[in-house]
């Protein structure tokens, strides 16, 4: 059960599947943290990834000679940013990877935006957490509870993150929780 290795293998697989040649890694704020915790920039440069960009940054240059590996959380905002990118692509080919499950509707939005047919691959990889060391991860959710209740959006984000960890480690856990904790009960039921 090594979460660092699980994330590292996903990122290596992304890079390998795009084939040889110069690449750019296009990420969002959260996936940037995920990648930077497991790979040093010098390590990833050895795999022909020469440029690191954020999907929400404006003013990126057009470089059609580069292959683009996108690694994004499957949020509505990221899907919209990616759809805009695909309508006016800045790179030659796109290999799209999401850090968790993406809806069929969002895939349809991306397919409709890909008029120039630059997308070569769309996949879900379960790396929706930050691996701190081999046996410790964080979801980086500040203030997830308020007065012994889940704050809005925190429960679903926590469930997404925990299921991502379980899927990346290929584990099906026996879920136990303290019966007197309503927060733990809700989390356990949602993860189950």
Nearest C-alpha neighbor of 11 from the set 133, 101, 132, 127: 127
- Give 152's pLDDT tier (boundaries 50, 70, 90): confident
Biggest CA-to-CA distance, the chain: 58
Supply 20's token pair: 């040889």
pLDDT at 157: 92
Is the per-residue pLDDT at 113 higher than 90? yes
Average pLDDT over residues 9-30: 95
133 three-class SS: strand
Is the per-residue pLDDT at 117 higher than 90? yes
* This prediction's pTM: 0.91
Pairing of strands 130-133, 23-27: unpaired
Question: Which region among 2-11, 19-28, 50-59, 146-155 has the lowest average model confidence (pLDDT)?
Answer: 146-155
Supply 22's token pair: 């110069």
More confident residue, 145 or 87: 87
**Do 78 and 18 form a contact (C-beta atoms < 8 A)?**
no
Is the per-residue pLDDT at 125 higher than 90? yes
pLDDT in tens, 35-71: 999 999 899 999 999 999 999 998 889 999 999 999 9
Instruction: Please provide the average confidence, as pLDDT, over all residues in the chain.
Output: 93
Q: Determine what percent of the chain is predicted with pLDDT higher than 70.
A: 100
Q: Determine what percent of the chain is predicted with pLDDT higher than 90.
A: 82
- CA distances 58 to 62, 85, 126, 169, Å, are 12, 11, 28, 36
Kindly report, as residue ranges, where domains of CATH 3.40.50.2060 are found in the chain. 3-124
**Do 7 and 139 form a contact (C-beta atoms < 8 A)?**
no
pLDDT in tens, 80-110: 999 999 999 999 999 999 999 999 999 999 9
Question: Which region among 10-14, 120-124, 135-139, 183-187 has the lowest average model confidence (pLDDT)?
Answer: 183-187
DSSP E strands in the chain: the ranges are: 23-27, 49-54, 63-72, 91-98, 119-124, 130-133, 136-138, 145-146, 149-150
Does domain 3-124 correspond to CATH entry 3.30.1330.80? no
């Amino acid at each position: 059960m090594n979460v660092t290795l699980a994330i590292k293998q996903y990122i290596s697989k992304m890079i390998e599947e795009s084939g040889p040649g110069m690449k750019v890694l296009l990420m969002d704020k959260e996936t940037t943290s995920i990648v930077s915790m497991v790979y040093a920039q010098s390590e990833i440069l050895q795999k022909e990834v020469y440029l690191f960009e954020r999907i929400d940054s404006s003013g990126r240059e057009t470089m059609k000679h580069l292959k683009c590996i996108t690694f994004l959380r499957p949020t509505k905002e990221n899907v919209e940013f990616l759809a805009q990118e695909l309508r006016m692509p800045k790179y030659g080919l796109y290999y799209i990877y999401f850090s968790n499950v993406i809806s069929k509707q969002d895939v349809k939005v991306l397919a409709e935006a890909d008029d120039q047919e630059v997308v070569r691959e769309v996949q879900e990889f379960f790396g929706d957490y930050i691996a701190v060391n081999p046996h410790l991860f964080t979801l980086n959710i500040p203030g997830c509870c308020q007065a012994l209740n889940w704050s809005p959006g925190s429960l679903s984000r926590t469930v997404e993150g925990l299921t991502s960890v379980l899927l990346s480690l290929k584990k099906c856990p026996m879920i136990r929780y303290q019966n007197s904790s309503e927060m733990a009960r809700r989390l356990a039921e949602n993860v189950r």
